[in-house]
Every structure is written in C-alpha cells, then in structure tokens.
Amino acid sequence: MSSAGTFDSTTRSRSESPTTRRERTLSMVGGLLGILMFAFGFLRWLSVGEGNSQRKFSGFAFSMPTTAIIGLSLAAGLIALLGATERRRGRGVPSAIPTGLALTSLLLAIAVYIGKGEISPDLGNQVGVEIGLVLGIITAAVQTVVLGMGLASRHDDDDYDDTRTRTGSVSRQRADSL
C-alpha cells in the first residue's frame, strides 16, 4: 500500500463525523453483546423435573430452541462488528441487518420463556427457566436497543457523491463545499 493511501485512510478516520463515530461505537458494542451471548450459551438455560431427578440443559444442548437464540444474536453481533471495522468507502454492513437479527433473537427468547411449558407434550409444565435464558433475554434486548440506536442515527457521509440524492439546496451546498 502506498503512503498516500495510508495517509488518506488515516486522515479520513480522524475526520469522521461524530455521528459516524457513534454509529461505529454502537455497532462494536452490539458485536461485543453477541460474543457475550455466545459465552452465556454455556450456562444452563432450561431445566426439566424437580429435586434429585432434575436435569438442566445449556443453551447449546442438542435439539434445544435456545441454540437459535444464541446463534442469531451472535450473527447480529459479528455482522455489526465486522461492518463497523470496515473502513473502505462505500463498504460496511447496513445496520438494519444486524438489528433485525438481534430483534429476531429477542423475540425467540421471549417465545421460549412464554412457551416453556409446551416444549414437549410429555413434559408439559415440568420445564423450568434457568439463569442462561434470563441473561439471554436481557442480552438480546440490550443488543436490539443498541443496534436500533445505531440504525436510528444512520446516515451516509457520502450522500453528496450520488447525484440521484441531490434534491435540496443542502446537498448542493455540501457538494460545493468540497
């Protein structure tokens, strides 16, 4: 890479707008929450039975609905994190994708919590909630809010480069100022 290219990318990152920096930070926080959800997957999420015969299952147990919750949150986090670290112009990931995945994870977690007694026709109301599911719901909710905040503040610094988006005098002023 030439020194001019390095200087250009260094200068551009230093001259990022506060909104762009905020969006990157929120995406990185969303990414860390996805990784945290992965770690929570090793905790116990559901239990079956009571007393000495009680069995507890982690989030990654075979054929458990909790695996999808963890996987969607992890995917949302990694996509947001990788999109935030992409520095090339016109690259990165639209924030709607990880926000949608995080919201799907949250809705599935709530559905498992509400429908825990119907997971199996044989077990019925013997299914209980463990700390992993509670932390999973909280993490998915926080991740959805954080990524949603990033989506709400989303903008394109390069709107002035696209002549199709020049509809008002503000766009022309921005384009002319460069």
Mean of pLDDT values over 115-127 = 75
Query: Is a pLDDT exceeding 70 seen at residue 134?
Result: yes
Q: Name beta bridge partners: 57.
A: 46
Tokens matching residue 35: 């990784």
Mean of pLDDT values over 151-170 = 58
Q: Which residue has the higher pLDDT, 108 or 19?
A: 108
Q: What domains are defined for the chain? A: 18-177 (1.20.140)
138-148 per-position pLDDT tens digit: 999 999 999 99
Q: How far apart are CA 56 and CA 129, in angstroms?
A: 9
48-60 per-position pLDDT tens digit: 888 888 889 899 9
Q: Does the pTM exceed 0.85?
A: no
Q: How far apart are CA 157 and CA 20, in angstroms?
A: 8
User: pLDDT category, 168, cuts 50, 70, 90?
Assistant: low
Mean of pLDDT values over 106-112 = 95
| Residue 132, C-beta contacts closer than 8 angstroms, at least 6 positions apart | 40, 41, 43, 44, 45, 58, 59, 66
Q: Which residue has the higher pLDDT, 166 or 68?
A: 68
CB hemisphere CA count around 93 (13 angstroms): 24
Cβ atoms of 113 and 43 closer than 8 Å: no
